[in-house]
Amino acid sequence: MNLVSKIIANISSLPARWKGMKFGKNSFIAPGYDWINVGLKGVRLGDTVIIGRNAWIQTIDHEKTDACISIGNNTQVGRFVVLSALFEIRIGENCLISYNVSVYDHDHNIADLRSPFKAGLTKAEKVVIGDECFIGAHSFILKGVRLGKHCAVGANSVVTKSFPSYSVIAGNPAKLIRKLK
């Protein structure tokens, strides 16, 4: 990063830092991310993590639940990404997450017949995305999913279950397309 980029990165990250987000060395969140009315305490970025413009990252009720989101070293996250944790989302090192990807460790409680605003959220389940994973554009990773090392998720996929290392998966719901190893 050159000096001008570092200055812009530091200025852009100030609201997130004030709200408790931790940044590793040379990590950057692009302008336009939501920081008003979202919790950022419990969000930790490793070294050289880049998050694109207009990201929505939040830990819900961090003070009550110790919700956390961690992103490993050398991972790049695209524009318009949503990471929402009531419990835990862990993204490994050297990952590439394309634009408009959503990762949730919870759901809205649609079984509760009250208004969606009053029904609340379901019980959260940890989401783990292993090292060296690629997540294609417009994909969803849902609660309880664990992706092993070097998994590739095709664009527009909805991942509802876990897959072992070196899996190529795609579809709605995502299915194993082939193994890389």
106 catalytic? Reply is: no
Please choose, from the candidates 32, 112, 42, the residue with its C-alpha nearest in 3D space to the C-alpha of residue 80. 32
Q: Which of 165, 140, 169, 173 is nearest to 154 (CA)?
A: 169
Q: Which of 112, 103, 177 is nearest to 142 (CA)?
A: 103
C-beta atoms surrounding 124 within 10 Å: 21
- Which residues lie closer than 8 Å to 126 by C-beta, 6 or more apart? 87, 88, 89, 90, 105, 144, 146
Tokens in use for 120? 């609340």
Catalytic one of 62, 106, 108, 150 = 108
Residues annotated as catalytic are: 108
